[in-house]
């Protein structure tokens, strides 16, 4: 474990000092620190009862709007699914709550703590965190949330209560991000689910280079909504 402990100052060590991806321990989840972390390729990931752990894995799993593809079966489902209504930022709190309760295998199963929920709700209030939702009538059928800075969307978590609802919301979000020139989607760590959409592993150095380019773009803040067709 790295000996770097965060105090009150908004400061992180260089990510190339990370040990197995772990950059630092401690600090808080205030908006200023969270945004500083994301802008340096760092994100919080820890479980209830642990101190806040800050990570920058190498390699990094990323998706670009250029490499994005919709799996054939999902494309067919999407064309035939007429009951879903899609939205952005209509139910951020409900989405993050559902993500925290969704069953997940492995060590990341319990990482959305009450402290994390409160922190991302504040980022949403400030216009930096966003959600995509899929609805069946008045029921929230699936969704996802993340943080956006410049031309980057940092994906955090997703959930589904019905079939491919979250995947369909994800596809709609990526297509909208492409229209806004938000071209880099940070998926953090590898999953077979996101690999099917074209995400791939790149070195941390390559990710940070792309991150720097995309952060030079203006941030699309405030409440999001899909462009009218």
Domains of the chain listed by start with CATH number:
5-58 (3.30.70.3550), 61-214 (3.40.630.70)
To the nearest whole number, what is the mean pLDDT of the chain?
93
Instruction: List phi, psi (to 5°) of 188.
Output: 70, -80
- SS3 state of residue 148: strand
Inter-axis angle of helices 165-179 and 72-80, to 10 degrees? Answer: 100
Q: Over the range 156-191, which residues count as b (16 or more CB within 10 Å of their CB) and which as e? A: bbbbbebebbbbbbbbbbbebbeeeebbbbbbbeee
Residue that the structure tokens 């760590």 belong to: 189
The answer on pLDDT for 156 being more than 60 is: yes
Q: How confident is the model at residue 17 (pLDDT cuts 50, 70, 90)?
A: confident
**Cα–Cα distance between 170 and 165 in angstroms, integer?**
9
Task: Report the greatest alpha carbon distance in the chain.
Answer: 54
Contact yes or no for 197/63 (Cβ under 8 A)? yes
CA distance 3 to 189: 23
- The span from the first CA to the last CA of the chain, in angstroms, equals 50
Question: Among residues 151, 99, 105, 141, which one has the least CA distance to residue 120?
Answer: 99
Q: Are strands 184-188 and 152-160 parallel, antiparallel or unpaired?
A: parallel
Distance between CA atoms of residues 5 and 84, nearest Å = 46
pLDDT above 70 for 162: yes
Binning the chain into helix, strand and coil, the percentages to the nearest 5 are 30, 25, 40
Residue in 22, 28, 146 with CA at minimum distance from that of residue 11: 28
Q: Which pair of tokens denotes residue 58? A: 């190498």
Please give the share of the chain, as a percent, with pLDDT higher than 70.
95
Lowest mean pLDDT among 57-66, 75-84, 180-189, 192-201: 75-84
Q: Which of 54-63, 108-117, 143-152 has the lowest mean pLDDT?
A: 108-117
Q: Which segment of 1-15, 99-113, 141-155 scores lowest on mean pLDDT?
A: 99-113
């Amino acid at each position: 474990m790295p000996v770097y402990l965060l105090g009150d100052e908004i400061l992180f060590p260089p990510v190339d000092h990370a040990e197995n991806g772990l950059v630092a321990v401690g600090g808080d989840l205030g908006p200023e620190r969270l945004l500083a972390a994301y802008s340096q390729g760092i994100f919080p990931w820890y479980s209830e009862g642990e101190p806040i752990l800050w990570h920058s894995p190498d390699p990094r799993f990323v998706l670009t709007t250029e490499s994005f593809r919709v799996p054939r079966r999902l494309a067919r489902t999407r064309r035939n699914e007429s009951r879903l209504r899609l939205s952005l930022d209509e139910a951020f709190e409900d989405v993050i709550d559902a993500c925290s309760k969704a069953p997940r295998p492995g060590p990341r199963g319990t990482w959305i703590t009450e402290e994390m929920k409160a922190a991302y709700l504040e980022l949403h209030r400030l216009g930096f965190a966003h959600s995509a939702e899929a609805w069946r009538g008045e029921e929230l059928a699936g969704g996802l949330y993340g943080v956006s800075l410049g031309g980057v969307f940092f994906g955090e978590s997703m959930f589904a209560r019905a079939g491919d609802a979250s995947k369909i919301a994800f596809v709609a979000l990526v297509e909208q991000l492409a229209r806004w020139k938000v071209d880099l989607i940070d998926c953090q760590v590898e999953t077979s689910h996101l690999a099917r959409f074209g995400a791939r592993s790149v070195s941390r150095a390559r990710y940070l280079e792309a991150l720097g380019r995309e952060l030079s773009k203006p941030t699309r803040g405030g409440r999001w909504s899909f462009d009218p067709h």
